[in-house]
Amino acid sequence: MILNKINLFSLWLITLLVCVISIILIGGYTRISDSGLSITEWEPISGILFPLTSGTWNQEFDKYKLIDEFKLINSAMTLQEFKVIYFWEWFHRAFARLIGVIYIIPFVYLAYYQKIEKKYLQNLFIIGLLLIIQAFIGWYMVKSGLVNRVDVSQYRLALHLTTAFIILGFIFHTLLTFYLDNKLISERSIFSNNLSKLLLIFFIFTFFQISYGAFVSGTHSGLVYNTWPLYDGYLIPNFLDNSLFKISFLFENSSLIIFIHRSFALLLFILLIFLNYKILMHRVSNKYLSLIVFFNISFFIQAVLGIAMTYLNIPWYLALLHQGNSIAMFLLVLTMYLFSTKSSLNET
């Protein structure tokens, strides 16, 4: 039975996977609610403590009052309102610490009792290293918004989000490989190896679109135009503003950023049509044909959410759904690619 083959190792990986998905969503809401700069210091140990007395709350609020976000945007904020944004940033950091514990304690236990096969160790060490790096990136990102800014750097935000998805990918890759190695998933008639290169390209493009979305969020580019598919009546927005084009415009010019994000979504749609055609022509097993169907549905949902956000001025619940659905798309296309590479190995 399948349940008999799901051991502590796979349960650990599933737990890590769920936790990383959760913290991406928690981080997304922290960003959407403008809570990310409420804690102005990074204290890896003592920072786990949540303020419980009026004295500690006033101390934290006084620290927040020193940064530009408060002075220029939230100067009328009350202590009760501050407690709300503080909670989400604290919860985000506390959950990150919890993931560290969930990673290290089971890893030490499983390694000590030799319950981890050597072929998985490389991925596991990479995951651990990336988790440590991600903690420093998180503070590096927050620090960028504390002085002479009212928001974090979009470059550091993109780095933080991209690293989170890389960690998610490594965990999922290890888990899926374990399932395939232990025959929990059939190795026959998954995806033809002829589709491997196409699926890799599609995976890279999907990953790029997700990462570049951080620049849309970091520069608030989604608020520039409330029309679709045109840009206030124009097919292409004016992003030059009578100045010469600079490479930095790709990451700093709001009109160009949203244009690239929308245009790349169209490119993905065209590539997805071609991918569907190739999969159908290769007569993929019906058992796994559902993967591309689910991806098609996720892509459609993502497009609808994106368009709805444009017209509704990006309400928080649609923005969070947009980010959550991107996780589903990422895992689905990664699954298809890994299946295709496994098929390739079986056929050689």
Residues 21 and 151 in one domain: yes
Residue that terminates a domain, selected from 185, 209, 233: 185
Tell me the CB-side half-sphere exposure of residue 284, using CA atoms within 13 A: 25
The pLDDT assigned to 348 comes to 43
Q: Are residues 240 and 173 in the same domain?
A: no
Looking at the structure, tell me whether residues 199 and 180 fall in a common domain: no
User: Which of helix, strand or coil describes residue 231?
Assistant: strand
Whether residue 187 is predicted with pLDDT greater than 70 in this model: the reply is no
Same domain, 122 and 10: yes
Mean of the pLDDT values across residues 315-327? 97
Final residue belonging to a domain, choices 149, 170, 185: 185
Report the DSSP beta bridge partners of residue 234. Answer: 231
Separation CA 245–CA 21 (nearest Å)? 38
Number of structural domains the chain divides into: 2
CA-to-CA distance for 11 and 109, rounded, in angstroms? 14
Over 70: is that where the pLDDT of 47 sits?
yes
pLDDT tens, position by position, 291-301 = 899 999 999 99
- Yes or no: say if 141 and 153 are a contact pair by the CB < 8 Å rule: yes
In the listed set 164, 185, 206, which residue is the last one of a domain according to the structure? 185
Percent of the chain with pLDDT over 90: 82
Average pLDDT of span 214-239: 94
What is the C-alpha to C-alpha distance for residues 333 and 292, in angstroms, rounded to an integer? 8
Lowest mean pLDDT among 107-116, 156-165, 177-186, 284-293: 284-293
pLDDT at 90 over 50: yes
Residues 16, 153: one domain?
Answer: yes
pLDDT of residue 105 exceeding 80, the answer is: yes
Same domain as 144, residue 197? no
Q: Tell whether the model's pLDDT for residue 123 goes beyond 90.
A: yes
Give pLDDT, residue 104. 97
| The Cα angle at residue 68 between residues 63 and 74, in degrees rounded to 5 | 85
Report for 194-198, 207-211, 334-338: range of highest mean pLDDT: 207-211
Residue 45 C-beta-side C-alpha neighbours within 13 Å: 0
Query: In terms of Cα–Cα distance, which of 238, 36, 228, 60 is closest to 139?
Result: 36
Over range 51-76, report the average pLDDT: 96
pLDDT on residue 3? 42
- Between residues 5 and 94, the one the model is more confident about: 94
pLDDT higher than 80, residue 282: no
- 193-205 mean pLDDT: 89
Domain range for residue 22? 1-185
- Helices and strands in the chain: count of H runs, count of E runs: 12, 0
Report, as an integer, the average pLDDT of 79-94: 97
Same domain? 145 vs 159? yes
The mean pLDDT value for 318-344 works out to 91
Model pLDDT, residue 329: 98
Tell me which amino acid residue 155 is: Y
- Closest listed residue to residue 162, CA positions, set 130, 128, 140: 130
Residue 183 pLDDT level (bands cut at 50, 70, 90): confident
